[in-house]
């Protein structure tokens, strides 16, 4: 286990708890999905892991307490991707944003690295565009590219499948699964179908607490957790090729 959170509490103004004694262990070199309704604690957990929000309790990454690890050290091994991490008010081209994402690294070929990542995600046509000219879906691709480009040991992505079209979701799913061969990946998502294609391990949150954690097939066998958390029914469907996916129905 490379990431271990123990009794983590994040408290906001007014006593509202974003996380309430959350404890879990993240499996190395797998894709872990955080699921749960709005305000369940998914983003808060990701931000706590990335040391972007203060917390009580303990979060260990590679045996080091995150709250005591300098941000420059953490940035060399971990990437956090969210649309809030890229300001569209800045007059920057996509290429410049990706160059900034590579800042913590040394002795790399910047142009080659940008090119390879842009090919992988199909964004070569966006490199010379200004980020404030991009659509929400295009900007999301740049957020993902910024997190992936330095090939960190840990990749945290907040709803990477939001805003993107149906045609790009398979590309993203395959890219994350391929990257998990060398990186530990944690993503937040609202889409159980995308999670079924992409994730190995699932953590379900509710009101800042962890309602379930286990392998994808274990969640499929315990769908009542999803019904209780979301308030709708879920079914498991088998699609061509034998893959099983979780689908909500209402």
pTM of the model: 0.94
Residue 76 predicted with pLDDT over 80:
yes
Query: What per-residue confidence (pLDDT) applies to 147?
Result: 96
**CA distance to 31, 95, 151, per residue, from 106 (Å):** 27, 18, 13
Q: Which two tokens stand for residue 163?
A: 């805003």
Mean pLDDT in the chain?
Answer: 94
Secondary element (H or E) of residue 154? strand 154-158
Secondary element (H or E) of residue 232? none
Query: What per-residue confidence (pLDDT) applies to 150?
Result: 93
Q: Which two tokens stand for residue 203?
A: 């953590």
CA distance 8 to 20: 7
What average pLDDT does range 176-184 have in this prediction? 97
Query: What per-residue confidence (pLDDT) applies to 104?
Result: 75
Percent of the chain with pLDDT over 70: 100
End-to-end CA distance of the chain: 38
- For residue 1, name the pLDDT band (cuts at 50, 70, 90): low
Contact 117, 126 (CB under 8 A): no
Under DSSP, the state recorded for 14 is: G
How do residues 207-238 score in pLDDT, each as one tens digit? 999 999 999 999 999 999 999 999 999 999 99
Query: What per-residue confidence (pLDDT) applies to 112?
Result: 95
Query: What per-residue confidence (pLDDT) applies to 15?
Result: 77
CA distance 236 to 50: 33
What average pLDDT does range 117-145 have in this prediction? 95
CA distance 38 to 36: 7
Query: What per-residue confidence (pLDDT) applies to 105?
Result: 80
Residue 81 predicted with pLDDT over 90:
yes
């Amino acid at each position: 286990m490379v990431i271990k959170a123990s009794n983590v509490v994040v408290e906001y103004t007014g006593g509202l708890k974003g996380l309430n004694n959350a404890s879990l262990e993240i499996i190395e070199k797998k894709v872990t999905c955080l699921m749960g309704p709005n305000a369940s604690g998914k983003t808060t957990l990701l931000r706590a892991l990335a040391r972007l929000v203060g917390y009580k309790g303990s979060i260990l990454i590679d045996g080091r307490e995150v709250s005591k690890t300098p941000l420059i050290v953490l940035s060399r091994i971990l990437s956090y991707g969210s649309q809030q991490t890229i300001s569209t008010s800045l007059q920057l081209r996509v290429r410049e944003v990706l160059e900034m994402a590579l800042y913590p690294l040394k002795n790399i070929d910047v142009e080659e690295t940008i090119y390879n990542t842009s090919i992988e995600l199909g964004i070569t046509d966006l490199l010379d565009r200004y980020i404030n000219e991009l659509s929400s879906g295009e900007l999301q691709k740049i957020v993902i590219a910024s997190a992936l480009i330095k090939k960190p040991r840990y990749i945290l992505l907040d709803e990477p499948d939001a805003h993107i079209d149906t045609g790009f979701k398979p590309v993203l799913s395959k890219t994350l699964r391929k990257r998990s061969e060398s990186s530990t990946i944690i993503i937040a998502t609202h889409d159980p179908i995308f999670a079924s294609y992409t994730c190995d391990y699932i953590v379900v949150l509710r009101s800042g607490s962890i309602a379930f954690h286990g392998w994808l097939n274990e969640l499929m066998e315990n769908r009542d957790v999803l019904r209780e958390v979301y308030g709708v029914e879920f079914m498991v469907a088998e699609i061509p090729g034998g893959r099983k996916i979780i689908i909500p129905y209402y």
